[in-house]
Amino acid sequence: MALDFVPFIILLGGLFTVAGGIVVRGSLRGSPAVNFVIILIGTLMASWIGTTGAAMVMIRPLLRANAWRKHQVHVIIFFIFLVANIGGSLTPLGDPPLFLGFLHGVSFFWTMKNILLHTVVIAGMVLAIFYAMDTYYYKKETPPPDDGVKEPLRVEGLLNFLFLGGIVGAVLMSGMVEWGTIPIGLGIHENAQNLVRDLFIVAMAVASWVTTKKALREANEYTWGPILEVAYLFAGIFVTIIPALAILRAGEEGALAFLIRAVNTPARYFWATGILSSFLDNAPTYLTFFNAANGQLYPGMPEAQAVGYLMGHVEGTNFPSGAVFLEAISAGAVFMGANTYIGNAPNFMVKSIAEEAGVPMPSFFGYMLRFSMPVLIVVFILTTFIFY
């Protein structure tokens, strides 16, 4: 809890606070074309300011643009699919699993080089399905009310982009330097660079809160409710996940030995990582299968050396390249985090904000049965045939 949950909540809380001070104004109408562009922009942003940052910046403009519509639930669901998950697949800044890989030696741009085509294909298919579905529902809507004079599109609270950049820089810094460890009590030692990162993120959040005009947060209908709900939910997940991960890490000596033995191809790594990431936290699940791949392909080899081979750096050696296995693990952890509300923290945060705005979001199983299973699972099956 001290080493994982607290930094996790600090990062989410910092991004939530800073992004809540950025207001996109303008007379946006929630047409299929406008919704498509908003979601596409958020998807492109996610790998650079994190899925949480991109989701918090773009969700409120999307809600305001569609407030007049009767059929808007699907718009928010596809926003979760793309902005809160799929878009964060290209850099360690995008999603926590990739950041863990970065901390364990995966180079910063490796994921972009190896997962870019996956992301383009998957995002393209999901965006096409969304546009078709939104066009269908849009034709059922009554004409939108006339709001009079059209307000030009503009962004306010621009200083918060500086604070957002500070958070991104702090996260990046913590993976690039080693300043030793510091005892923090109860026999726990934390890396000094991680403590500096967390303190800096808190400082950026405080600076945003102090310098942002109250009217801007009111325009965003900013409340602490969504981040508190995420904190409560994931506190429970982080506690109860401990025995589940211990079983997975036990490998063939544990209760899930049959699963570990069965996961021996890239396609199986993709689905095993993805399915478990959908219901457990995707960051430790990524790390579990990351270690499993290292153990299967390069048994007994030091991690620093094995990770190089796992990235495909095997020229002049007799070792097999593990690049396709690392691709499958990375893709499964990031993409399939969209399968449930708890697959990735921004999912639940977006759900809470949408419900505060009056959108009747589906239940946990309703989300899966009505949207993620008929849309995402089909896309992921196609992805398996294309890439694995």
pLDDT in tens, 6-44: 888 888 889 889 988 988 887 788 899 999 999 999 999
- The three-state secondary structure class of 376 is helix
* 326 vs 102, residue with greater confidence: 326
Residue in 221, 225, 282 with CA at minimum distance from that of residue 13: 225
Average pLDDT over residues 175-199: 87
pLDDT tens per residue, range 38-94: 999 999 999 988 898 899 889 988 998 999 999 999 999 999 999 999 999 999 888
Q: State how far the Cα of 379 lies from the Cα of 70, in Å rounded to an integer.
A: 27
On the question of pLDDT at 349 being above 90, the answer is: no
Residue 355 phi/psi, 5° resolution? Answer: -65, -35
pLDDT tens per residue, range 237-279: 778 877 876 776 676 777 877 877 888 899 999 999 999 999 8
Q: How many CB atoms lie within 10 A of CB 218?
A: 10
Contacts of 214 (CB under 8 A, 6+ apart): none
Q: Are 193 and 173 in contact (CB under 8 A)?
A: yes
Q: State how far the Cα of 284 lies from the Cα of 245, in Å rounded to an integer.
A: 8
pLDDT tens per residue, range 99-151: 888 878 888 889 999 999 999 999 999 999 999 999 999 999 887 776 656 77
pLDDT at 267: 95
Q: State how far the Cα of 80 lies from the Cα of 84, in Å rounded to an integer.
A: 5
pLDDT at 100: 80
Torsion sign (Cα): 91, 40, 15, 5: negative
Residue 183 phi/psi, 5° resolution? Answer: -70, 135
On the question of pLDDT at 361 being above 90, the answer is: yes
- The three-state secondary structure class of 148 is coil
Amino acid letter for position 52: T
pLDDT at 290: 87
* pTM recorded for the entire structure: 0.86
Q: State how far the Cα of 14 lies from the Cα of 375, in Å rounded to an integer.
A: 32
Contacts of 54 (CB under 8 A, 6+ apart): 42, 43, 45, 46, 83, 84, 87, 88
Place of tokens 């080693």: 178
Percent of the chain having pLDDT more than 90? 47
* Per-residue confidence band for 320, with pLDDT thresholds at 50, 70 and 90: confident
Contacts of 308 (CB under 8 A, 6+ apart): 105
Place of tokens 């600090």: 10
- Look at phi and psi of residue 306 and say left if phi exceeds 0, alpha if psi is from -120 to 50, else beta: alpha
In this structure, what token pair is assigned to residue 258? 């049959």
On the question of pLDDT at 219 being above 90, the answer is: no
Contacts of 386 (CB under 8 A, 6+ apart): 121
DSSP secondary structure letter of residue 188: E
Q: State how far the Cα of 25 lies from the Cα of 218, in Å rounded to an integer.
A: 13
Q: How many CB atoms lie within 10 A of CB 62?
A: 26
pLDDT at 30: 85
Contacts of 381 (CB under 8 A, 6+ apart): none
Would you state the torsion angle of the CA atoms of residues 142, 143, 148, 152, taken in this order, to the nearest 10 degrees? 110
In this structure, what token pair is assigned to residue 74? 């699907």
- The three-state secondary structure class of 181 is strand
> How far is CA 340 from its chain centroid?
12
- The three-state secondary structure class of 361 is coil
pLDDT at 253: 75
Would you state the torsion angle of the CA atoms of residues 297, 250, 234, 285, taken in this order, to the nearest 10 degrees? 10
Average pLDDT over residues 347-374: 94
Average pLDDT over residues 290-297: 83
Amino acid letter for position 47: S
| Strand residues in the chain grouped as ranges (E) | 23-25, 154-156, 181-185, 188-191
Residue 97 phi/psi, 5° resolution? Answer: -60, -40
Place of tokens 């982009």: 161
